[in-house]
Amino acid sequence: MTVTVDKLARAIEKRMGRPPQEGYATAVRVMNYFGFESFIIDNAIDSEDRRTFYALHDAGLLRSSWETVLLLSGRNWRIFYWELNEGDIDRIVGEENEQPEPPLYRELPDEAWSHSAPSSPT
């Protein structure tokens, strides 16, 4: 499921014990960075907001990762990313799908399960 401002606000309230107004304000600020993406580069974040991101990371609502890139000069450059932890956010607000979709193999016809060898022209 997609993370919305309201969903993130409820997760912040539940996980971090924040009042609804504060949870909503924090969610709006965070989602303004993400927009329609599920991850962003760390360089885009204001240093004051980075503290909020670390607090949300500690609460399990955000994840961080990094990659190392080789520059033309031969030096390594490390790029840091932030990602919405969609699975945990859904779990925290209780919106996980209780009934997962049935496996695809249950929809296959009986012919798909036959193991007969293809006939070869003689």
Summarize pLDDT for 25-54 with one digit per residue, the tens.
999 999 999 988 989 999 999 998 999 999
pLDDT of residue 117: 59
**Length, in residues, of the chain:** 122
Dihedral sign, CA of 51, 40, 34, 7? negative
Distance between CA 38 and CA 83 in Å, rounded? Answer: 6
User: What SS3 class is residue 115?
Assistant: coil
Task: Quick: pLDDT tens for 52-87.
Answer: 999 999 999 999 999 999 999 999 999 999 999 999
CATH number at residue 17: 1.10.10
Tokens of 28: 């709006």
Is residue 105 in a domain?
no
Residue span of the structural domain in which 12 resides: 5-96
**Angle 32-36-38 from CA coordinates, rounded to 5°:** 90
Is 50 part of a structural domain of the chain? Answer: yes
Per the structure, the count of domains in the chain is 1
